[in-house]
């Protein structure tokens, strides 16, 4: 394992000369928020030795040159809203926060692009695009808190990925600072480019292990003129899930197709003090349609509703006005928070399988739930095969029991998803530290060796977010 240089007062002073004393945090109390993300702070948290908040790529380049010279680990950090421990400084060292780099640099309407610094909140980016009739279509569900840089580093997705795809589809250009402190510009505003290796794609989804993304040029789309939602209850989760591929086969591409099992619905409604028609319901689909005009949306809405009714739907509810749409989407968005209230000790997973195999996932979750004596609510982006199977500790059991069964259950789940269904262990949350050991167990040696070769080529000193995705001893 690498032995890294500890941060000294002299190093802090050198960092202060780069970014200014007011942009350095070194006292324990103020650094506490930078020692964890949305994973368990008890299980995964680790304090940095210093937090640095640069304002420019040039300052980041100087920080990385210092880190390379002295062999100091550097952990890039956005909003800290990740769910895999990707921004946790497990070797201490420097946490490099891009929170001050939050400006939109250009909105280019003629080329349908926006160029922005990567510390901007994704929702703020879209809010500023609205007046131009444009939007960034690849944003995730947590757009109110997450940063653009984090979205790119995780290749984040969300409910709209069925129709619009994930973040990476919209990244045309990047400015990146390498571990050695070089500033590199990759791509640009063009939509086609085969001029050599597409290096920007290596940084998309790399979780900050290959370099620090400081600026991005994003492809934009015109805002849809109309949209509406369907809320569709089914007697069983299997019936609800099975409808997804039927809809897709008919050539209909909804904006979103979100799945919520009964446990998820009950907990979220209780959390929000909301009421939905749940009598006899085993699961619901929340389906959104958008388009260029009301007539087109209505036609597709009716077609999707007819398919659902022909395939076991108990009812089809249409949410046409904004208030009703917000009510039902609030239930979906707040499931994770509701589950935390029930039991803060849990493992939020984001397994992904080919959409035709989604129905096979649910019986396996039931089997594992019964075998290990845990609750596994399931919800997520059924339209692209990405499900949030959340393993929730029974509040009556001990932490010792939980720590014993959690890795065993996850190994069985991952082996089934990858080995039996050809899926992956993460569709949008990433590997980070939380799934690092499991990734090594489920991918072939040759593929893992390529990961290691790539990491060594980009980061020969192993100072760039070390210990994430892979572990090189």
Residue 306 lies in a domain: yes
The 10s digit of each residue's pLDDT in 313-348 is 999 999 978 999 999 999 999 999 999 999 999 999
Share of the chain above pLDDT 70, in %: 99
Residue-wise pLDDT tens digits, 220-249: 999 999 999 999 999 999 999 999 999 999
pLDDT, average across residues 173-188: 98
| DSSP secondary structure of 378-433 | EEEEGGGTEEEEEEE--TTS-HHHHHHHHHHHHHHHHHIIIIIT--BSBSSS--TT
Q: What is the CATH classification number for the domain harbouring 30?
A: 3.30.43.10
pLDDT digits (tens, 9 = 90+) for 201-225: 999 999 999 999 999 999 999 999 9
pTM for the model: 0.95
For residue 141, the model assigns a pLDDT of 67
pLDDT tens for 248-276 read 999 999 999 999 999 999 999 999 999 99
pLDDT at site 138: 87
Residues 197 and 244 in one domain: no
Residue 326, domain member (yes or no): yes
pLDDT digit string, tens, across residues 134-161: 999 987 766 678 999 999 999 998 788 9
330 within a domain of the structure (yes/no): yes
Shared domain check, 319 and 353: no
Residue 178 to residue 238: CA distance in whole angstroms: 47
Where a domain ends, among 420, 436, 463?
420
CATH code (residue 123): 3.30.465.10
Antiparallel, parallel or unpaired: β 386-392 and 317-319: unpaired
Among residues 99, 124, 159, the one where a domain terminates is 99
Indicate if 118 and 188 belong to the same structural domain. yes
Q: Could you give the CA distance from residue 357 to residue 50 in angstroms, rounded to a whole number?
A: 46
Both 56 and 146 in one domain: the answer is no
Count of CB atoms situated within 10 Å of the CB of 134: 19
- Shared domain for 149 and 240, answered yes or no, is no
Are both 130 and 237 inside the same structural domain? no
Q: Confirm whether 87 is domain-assigned.
A: yes
Mean pLDDT for the stretch of residues 451-468? 97
Pair (123, 33) in one structural domain:
no
List all residues 6 or more positions away from 292 whose beta carbon is below 8 Å from its beta carbon.
Answer: 224, 225, 226
> What pLDDT does residue 142 have?
67
- pLDDT digit string (tens) for 22-52? 999 999 999 999 999 999 999 999 999 999 9
Q: How many domains does the chain have?
A: 4
pLDDT digits (tens, 9 = 90+) for 88-108: 999 999 999 999 999 999 999
Write the CATH number for 394: 3.30.70.2740
Q: Is residue 367 part of a domain?
A: yes
Check whether residue 172 and residue 127 sit in a common domain: yes
Residue 1 has pLDDT above 60, yes or no: no
The mean pLDDT value of the chain amounts to 95
For 191, residues 6+ apart whose C-beta sits below 8 A from its C-beta are: 172, 219
Residue 245 falls within a domain, yes or no? yes
User: Which residue range forms the structural domain that includes residue 302?
Assistant: 226-336
- Same domain membership, residue 209 and residue 139: yes
Question: What is the 8-class DSSP label of residue 435?
Answer: T
- Look at residue 472 in the predicted model and tell me its pLDDT: 82
- Give pLDDT tens digits for 379-409: 999 999 999 999 999 989 999 999 999 999 9
Query: Same domain for 318 and 330?
Result: yes
Regarding whether 206 and 193 lie in a shared domain, the answer is: yes
Confirm whether 352 is domain-assigned: yes
pLDDT of 440 strictly over 60: yes
User: 130 CB contacts (<8 Å, ≥6 apart)?
Assistant: 223
Question: Which of 156, 187, 222 is where one domain is finished?
Answer: 222
Q: Is residue 466 part of a domain?
A: no
- Return the CATH number at 243: 3.30.70.2190
261 with 274, same domain: the answer is: yes
């Amino acid at each position: 394992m690498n032995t890294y240089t500890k941060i000294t007062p002299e190093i802090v002073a050198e960092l202060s000369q780069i970014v200014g004393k007011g942009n350095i945090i070194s006292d324990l109390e103020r650094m506490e928020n930078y020692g964890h993300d949305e994973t368990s702070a008890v299980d995964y948290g680790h304090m940095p030795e210093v937090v640095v908040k640069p304002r420019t790529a040039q300052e980041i380049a100087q920080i990385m040159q210092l880190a390379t010279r002295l062999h100091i680990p550097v952990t890039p950090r956005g909003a800290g809203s990740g769910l895999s421990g990707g921004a946790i400084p497990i070797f201490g060292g420097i946490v490099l926060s891009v929170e001050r780099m939050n400006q939109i640099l250009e909105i280019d309407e003629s080329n349908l692009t926006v160029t922005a610094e990567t510390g901007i909140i994704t929702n703020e980016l879209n809010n500023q695009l609205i007046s131009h009739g444009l939007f960034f279509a690849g944003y995730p569900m947590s757009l109110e808190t997450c940063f653009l840089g984090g979205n790119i580093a995780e290749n984040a997705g969300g409910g709209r990925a069925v129709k619009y795809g994930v973040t990476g589809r919209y990244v045309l250009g990047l400015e990146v600072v390498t571990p050695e402190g070089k500033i590199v510009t990759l791509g640009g505003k063009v939509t086609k480019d085969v001029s050599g290796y597409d290096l920007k794609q290596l940084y998309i989804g790399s979780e900050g292990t290959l370099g620090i993304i400081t600026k991005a040029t994003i492809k934009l789309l015109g805002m849809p003129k109309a949209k509406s939602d369907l809320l569709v209850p089914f007697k069983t989760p299997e019936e609800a899930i099975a409808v997804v591929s039927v809809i897709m086969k008919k050539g209909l591409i909804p904006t979103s197709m979100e799945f919520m099992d009964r446990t998820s619905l009950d907990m979220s409604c209780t959390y929000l003090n909301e009421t939905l028609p749940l009598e006899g319901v085993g699961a619901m689909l929340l389906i959104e349609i958008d388009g260029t005009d009301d007539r087109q949306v209505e036609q597709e809405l009716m077609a999707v509703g007819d398919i659902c009714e022909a395939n076991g739907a108990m009812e089809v509810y249409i949410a046409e006005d904004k208030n009703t749409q917000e009510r039902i989407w609030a239930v979906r968005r707040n499931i994770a928070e509701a589950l935390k209230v029930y039991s803060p000790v849990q493992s939020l997973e984001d397994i992904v399988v080919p959409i035709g195999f989604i129905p096979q996932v649910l019986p396996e979750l039931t089997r594992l739930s019964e075998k290990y004596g845990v609750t596994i609510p399931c919800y997520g982006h059924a339209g692209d095969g990405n499900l949030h199977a959340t393993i929730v500790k029974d509040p009556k059991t001990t932490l010792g029991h939980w720590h014993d069964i959690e890795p065993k259950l996850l190994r069985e789940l991952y082996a089934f998803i990858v080995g039996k269904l050809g899926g992956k262990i993460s569709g949008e949350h990433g590997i980070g530290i939380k799934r690092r050991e499991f990734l090594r167990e489920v991918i072939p040696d040759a593929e893992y060796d390529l990961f290691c070769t790539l990491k060594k080529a980009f980061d020969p000193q192993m100072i760039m977010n070390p210990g994430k995705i892979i572990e090189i001893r």
